[in-house]
A and B are shown apart, each in its own frame.
Chain A
């Protein structure tokens, strides 16, 4: 049977669902069914043209994570995890996930009193059953979304549930830090954020690991729902070690006048695959979609984005930029869809790539499908090398070649970060890029 391995099978789905409400067990069983019915994507599919799963992913070699050896005692946590948290402590609340399970949660008491919920998804199934039941794998990332969304919906173990009630505004971001320690494991995690009308929240999710000696797979299904007039910012920073296959399936639903912005930063892992679908469902909705990647060695990045303008007078603006060194490779495939009747749409899409070495490669496919006439849409893509004039200028000011090159790359990628009003995240990402650049020399 397609996709059944020693680790992934109906018995595992049943076992994970044990003790959970019947509706959830049914949903898992249904998802498994979809997973089995859906063929494994091949490069013959447009969406998978640039990532050959036959070569890149060996599901048979993976096992599901056992019970985590880590506890809620922060002193037992890996140093790098703690360091990542300490880099920026400004937060409305924290969640720490180690090896797929939430080990720590805290949330500002004042916010909790106002009804803000931040907790482990596993617990939320019991504590906030109705909310979870309404939104989990239903509208945003249902199993029908695709082979991997189905696998996640069948096998997820834990994740994050964040609920912001009507009109509540969080001044500081919610911070999630995730750590993977076990190689050869498949981790399935879900993020569910519901922001009620006129609320406001920023969410920063960072995932890290050391280098992993065998392929390690992490799958995250991200469901973001912004009700009328809500403002949501979602940031995912991926700093995994080599050996990791990072996959994230994200969908954002922006209702009337809502703003739902995302930033995906991909710096680590051997393979990164992000599917991001932004749906502008209500008039006046807006989505800014930012992406940043920096590869070296034989890293492989694949971003598959779509901007669906369903309602009138919606706007979206996508900017994905990446620098590629060594033999790294990036593919970007984006599509703007303006559905019939979505008049007054403003939609933009830009993908820019910097090739830093002879072995690097970039493929870009910025697509448009426009079925309304009163629209402003444009897209652009470029692939090129380092701006030699900028480099020359910096060297004429006394910087050596390596310093000059670093600065130009930083400036190139910095354009994305400059659009993000989250100081802590900007500093953190800049530091990681600087660190990575320093290693090139």
Chain B
């Protein structure tokens, strides 16, 4: 496998996912987004007519909506999008066994440790390469209990009614410009169904890999957790570093039914040339719990605000968000909780670290609708600034229409304490190491919620990033 030497010259070699596989796609659409591309995607997937119509409608909506004026800098995005390949089909069909996946692709996922993790700790794995899921598998014992864990395309093919009942209802195409774009060109992603009362004791994982330059990835995921069921879904993402920009825009729709419990973990570690604009939303019914654990470490610009719509009495939503912004990065992340029923509770905890000229933004909404009495919500944001060129912003929206509710928001910004550093150094710890130690302590409350391998990964990343950061 060829190493990308120029990238190492730039001194970005701490990004260990920067390798390119020499794969030849079986089909690649022309670059840019046109109606023709939308039709090609639909044709390749042999979709029912209604889905093609849905895509074409969404394409219209996308064109009618202006580029957002808030959030990160999207000024140059339009030009970037003209150069992007919106659909790249890496192989003819999705495989159920790693043995059938072409060697070059399989090797990539082996490097990322996916098959190994699957054997050890996962209930099921999905792997997406460019625009399509190349591998999807679920352990027999869960399949026997009626759990469905499949590519989104197979969800549409094999469970058309269930699919149609929920698809596009949680995040309608008109929700925002990029949700419309995704609705037009979606490809890949997971379809998850956990039947009533079934509790998965190990996580499902989907891994998203972009390999080619100027690639656009548009995964679409639909997750339905039936009454009293429990599950945990993890998504990871990486890409090689290119000098040109790539683009990722996913839409994740989740329904958590009565008394069910679901956790969605994201470890976003895209390379620093990726625009990552994602819409993630869950509908949480009576007595149910939804947890988002959102780790944003990579990408050039991420705009992502996982949300919980608490529609049933006693529903609970939780968002734990951790963001790291190094040089050239802007993480514009946060979360939304919307209380629409009585006795609903929620909490948002956000921690961010900005280093070099990196910028971390917390943007969140806590809304209590009229009638959602006894709603409780608490939002806490902490930001750590490493250098004098780092930047952090906090934009929490609090909108309360119900008098019988309690909502609190707190945020603090600080730099690494001189006293803490001094203490550690007085104990013989080198400054770099002391910095890393303090940062680890800062993110610990969230990091300890991460699956073990990701927590280890995060700690390693921070250690590497802190090297030479003491000015």
Contact = CB atoms under 8 A, between A and B. Distances in A.
Interface of A: 340-341, 343, 353, 355-385
B101 interface: no
Given A367-B393, A373-B390, A381 B408 contact: yes
Contacts of B50: none
A201 B8 CA distance: 63
A375 B413 contact: yes
B385 A373 contact: yes
A375 B400 CA distance: 31
B387 interface: yes
Contacts of A385: 403-406
B185 to A, nearest CB: 29
A264 to B, nearest CB: 20
B406 A382 contact: yes
B383 interface: yes
A370 B392 contact: yes
Given A365-B395, A383-B398, A373 B412 contact: no
Nearest to A384: B406
A365 B403 contact: no
B388 interface: yes
B400 A355 contact: yes
B192 to A, nearest CB: 36
A370 B385 contact: yes
A382 B405 CA distance: 10
Contact of A376 (B402, B406, B414): B414
Contacts of A383: 368, 398, 400, 405-407
B396 interface: yes
B394 A374 contact: no
Contacts of A362: 398, 400
Most buried by B among A370, A375, A385: A370
Contacts of B392: 368-370
Contacts of A382: 406-409
Given A380-B409, A382-B408, A371 B391 contact: yes
A379 B394 contact: yes
B396 to A, nearest CB: 7
Nearest to A356: B403
Chain A interface main SS type:
strand
Given A363-B397, A372-B388, A373-B415, 5 more contacts: A353-B400, A363-B399, A366-B396, A369-B392, A370-B385
Contacts of B414: 375-377
Contacts of B387: 373
Given A385-B404, A385-B405, A380 B411 contact: yes
A353 B406 CA distance: 10
B409 A370 contact: no
A362 B408 CA distance: 12
B396 A381 contact: yes
A365 B395 CA distance: 7
Nearest to B379: A381
B386 interface: yes
B409 A381 contact: yes
B383 A373 contact: no
Interface in B265-290: none
B327 interface: no
Given A360-B403, A382-B407, A370 B413 contact: yes
Contact of A374 (B388, B389, B408): B388
A367 B364 CA distance: 11
Given A355-B403, A356-B403, A368-B393, A380 B408 contact: yes
B410 interface: yes
A321 to B, nearest CB: 14
A378 B403 contact: no
A366 B409 contact: yes
Contact of B388 (A360, A361, A373, A377): A373
Contacts of B389: 340
Contacts of A375: 385, 413-415
B401 interface: yes
Contacts of B403: 355-360, 385
Nearest to A343: B388
Contacts of A360: 403
Contacts of A370: 383, 385, 391-393, 413
20 contacts: A355-B400, A361-B400, A362-B400, A363-B398, A364-B409, A367-B395, A369-B392, A370-B385, A370-B391, A370-B393, A372-B388, A373-B385, A373-B388, A373-B390, A376-B414, A377-B414, A379-B411, A382-B408, A384-B407, A385-B405
Contacts of B410: 378-380
Contacts of B412: 377-378
A85 to B, nearest CB: 37
A120 to B, nearest CB: 43
Closest 9 CB pairs of A and B: A355-B403, A373-B385, A368-B394, A378-B412, A364-B398, A383-B400, A377-B413, A384-B406, A373-B415
Contacts of B388: 340-341, 343, 372-374
Contacts of A343: 388
Nearest to A367: B395
B444 to A, nearest CB: 20
